Structure 1
Amino acid sequence: MAKINVSVPSVAAEGGLSQYMEAIKRYPLLQPSEELELAFQYRDHGSEAAGVRLITSHLRLVAKIAMGYRYYGLPVADLISEGNLGLLRAVQKFEPEKGFRLATYAMWWIKASINEYVLNSWSLVKVGTVAAQKKLFFNLRKMKARLGVYEDSELTPEQATWIATELSVPVEEVHAMNRRLSRQDASLDVPVSEDGELSRMDMLVDDRASQEDELASKQERHLGSQLLKDALETLNDRERHILTERRLRSAPITLEDLGKEYGISRERVRQIENRAFEKLQTAVRKAAAALESPGRRAIGALRSLSSSMS
């Protein structure tokens, strides 16, 4: 299949739609016999000129279909561009010998291309893309109009049931999609102050700890570990071992097991543990007080250490 290089008019940002419609009207519509001949020339002989004429003669069809999607709040220029891509794919896959007009075949490709663009771009939080949700997304407004329901109005149970029955979808999904379509996304960059300098983003509260607090917490943990390491050196081997096994392990050893290891009673092990813990606390406090400026970090480290070993 030959590649088609075609340059078509584009919709300008301001007041461009009417100009675009006027521009594409200069491309003549094709008679059935002429369209059939061009289709065979393009498919069988790779005539790029034939492909270009097939495309340009159907630009008005794309614009008409795209206008039906303008209520989704997306730029009409983008809708038309996506529709033109669908038209291009339709021309490339068109089989003229089946007897259908190109417009009939292309309509489905154009709509599919625009539908996909709308689903992907309509909302920052993507609308579901399962078959039932797609059906709801593109038909709910039409069904509400038949019921005489305003765009943003809630649906009564009877109305939602009727729509669900007509579209063969669950009632719950009808209500969910209606709420979804009634609440457009709001940009966080929208100004909320008169001078325009304050936006929604500026008013959001960050619950995370500040970098200063995180750094201070990290320093406290490091200082606490160092104070503990130094204080443990003030204990004798048996005191250090018993305290470590009883207070610093995720799964502490029982008093009975330590008593068997040292050949002493459970109560004696408890006494050694308590005495070692008191000596450790005293050593940590002295070390913290000896710091030139203990401040919040040393105090916090001491509290954290005492809490973790209690």
Structure 2
Amino acid sequence: MNKPFPPSQMARKQTPRPEFLDAHSEARLAKCWRDDGDVAARNRLVTSHQALAIAATSRAGGKGRELDTDILQHANIGLLKAADRFDPDKGFRFSTYAAWWIRAEIQGYKIQSWSLVKLPNSASSRKLFYNLKRVESRLIAAGEVPPEHLVDRIASDLAVTPEQVVMMQQRLAAQDGSLNRPVGDDGGSTQLQDLLEDPDVDVEKEVCARLDSRAFWIKMSGYRGRLSKREQEIIIEIYVSETPKTLEALGERFGVSRERIRQIREAALTRLRASFAETTAL
């Protein structure tokens, strides 16, 4: 029998009654596809087992719900994968073989669509995803495992590593949230992403650099008296101003050439370096 999972009443209304294949016809179609690449034979084998995909989709979507078209699509993909790998010479019916591929494809889709952060889609990951809560609740209710050994016991029962258990617990702890959502209820512009730590930034180094820069400019302000008024304005406009001026712009402002502004800048910097050197020597 090639329909071990009877489809729901809703599914039967949506889909025409599939063709029934006996064991001989099923094996013949599978061999035509495997040996001769007969696409029509493959399609007939798959469509005759459409009830399997519908039943699995109905169970995966929950009772009383309409069929999820995305899940149904992946169930059909599982049917196609089963047809590509089915070996009729081993004596099994196609429905028995295809049921596993349909279930695996649906489980893989649900794992990948559960979160924007993609989870591993291996057999062990699927087993952990679908059984973690059940095993954890059973162990807690039994009270036989101390809390500090709970992760190790779950890993042992599900044949995975403790690191995989912890990672899955963290993934299942909360659904995805937008990093652009506002923080607080005061209507401010601060978003969650503004509060995240940047792993590429050395905070200590950045603070030290700011303090060094502040100390530098404090000392610089004390040495300004050694410069002429024009030299002070040129240094400030080039190095301190929020919008640094070019040599050409300063030349137009003071009515001299670009080269003359460069010479004045270099002379001013030379005096400032000498002032710093004197302080260091002291």
Measured against the shorter chain, the TM-score band is: 0.5 to 0.7
Task: Give how far 1:88 is off.
Answer: 1.2
**How do 1:1-310 and structure 2 match up within 5 A?**
19-24=10-15, 26-70=17-61, 76-129=68-121, 132-144=124-136, 146=138, 156-157=147-148, 159-186=150-177, 204=191, 220-223=242-245, 233-234=263-264, 240=267, 243=270, 247=273, 270=274
CA distance in structure 1 between the aligned counterparts of 2:85 and 2:276, rounded to whole angstroms: 88
CA distance in structure 2 between the aligned counterparts of 1:169 and 1:26, rounded to whole angstroms: 43
Task: Give how far 1:26 is off.
Answer: 0.9
Change in Cα spacing, 1:19 to 1:46, as seen in structure 2 (3 Å) is: same
Deviation sequence 1:160-180 (CA, Å, 0-9, x none): 343211112233432431232
SS in 2 for 1:233: helix
Change in Cα spacing, 1:103 to 1:218, as seen in structure 2 (3 Å) is: farther
Task: Give how far 1:203 is off.
Answer: 6.2
CA distance in structure 2 between the aligned counterparts of 1:189 and 1:242, rounded to whole angstroms: 46
SS in 1 for 2:245: helix
The AA in structure 2 aligned to 1:22 is: K
Task: Give how far 1:82 is off.
Answer: 0.9
CA distance in structure 2 between the aligned counterparts of 1:242 and 1:44, rounded to whole angstroms: 85
Determine if contact 1:55/1:91 at 8 Å carries over to the other structure: yes
Determine if contact 2:11/2:54 at 8 Å carries over to the other structure: no
Task: Give how far 1:40 is off.
Answer: 2.7
CA distance in structure 1 between the aligned counterparts of 2:157 and 2:75, rounded to whole angstroms: 28
CA distance in structure 2 between the aligned counterparts of 1:178 and 1:27, rounded to whole angstroms: 42
CA distance in structure 1 between the aligned counterparts of 2:158 and 2:169, rounded to whole angstroms: 14
Determine if contact 1:160/1:174 at 8 Å carries over to the other structure: yes
Larger deviation, residues 167-176 vs 126-135: 126-135
Gaps of 5+ in 1: 1-16, 150-154, 192-197, 209-216, 248-269, 275-310
Change in Cα spacing, 1:95 to 1:231, as seen in structure 2 (3 Å) is: same
Deviation sequence 1:214-243 (CA, Å, 0-9, x none): xxx9973422876698655347xxx72971
Cross-structure match for 1:304: none
Size of the alignment, in residue pairs? 210
Determine if contact 1:29/1:57 at 8 Å carries over to the other structure: yes
Q: TM-score, structure 2 length as denominator?
A: 0.55
Change in Cα spacing, 1:39 to 1:130, as seen in structure 2 (3 Å) is: closer
Q: Sequence identity, in percent?
A: 33
Change in Cα spacing, 1:41 to 1:19, as seen in structure 2 (3 Å) is: same
Determine if contact 1:189/1:201 at 8 Å carries over to the other structure: no
CA distance in structure 2 between the aligned counterparts of 1:52 and 1:110, rounded to whole angstroms: 16
Gaps of 5+ in 2: 1-7, 196-238, 252-257
Deviation sequence 1:130-153 (CA, Å, 0-9, x none): 66544422332443465587xxxx
Deviation sequence 1:230-271 (CA, Å, 0-9, x none): 655347xxx729718x74xxxxxxxxxxxxxxxxxxxxxx47
CA distance in structure 2 between the aligned counterparts of 1:179 and 1:188, rounded to whole angstroms: 18
Task: Give how far 1:81 is off.
Answer: 0.5
Deviation sequence 1:157-207 (CA, Å, 0-9, x none): 45534321111223343243123213122357999xxxxxx9x99762675
SS in 2 for 1:222: coil
CA distance in structure 2 between the aligned counterparts of 1:99 and 1:177, rounded to whole angstroms: 39
CA distance in structure 2 between the aligned counterparts of 1:177 and 1:206, rounded to whole angstroms: 23
Change in Cα spacing, 1:87 to 1:140, as seen in structure 2 (3 Å) is: same
CA distance in structure 1 between the aligned counterparts of 2:240 and 2:75, rounded to whole angstroms: 56
Change in Cα spacing, 1:232 to 1:123, as seen in structure 2 (3 Å) is: same
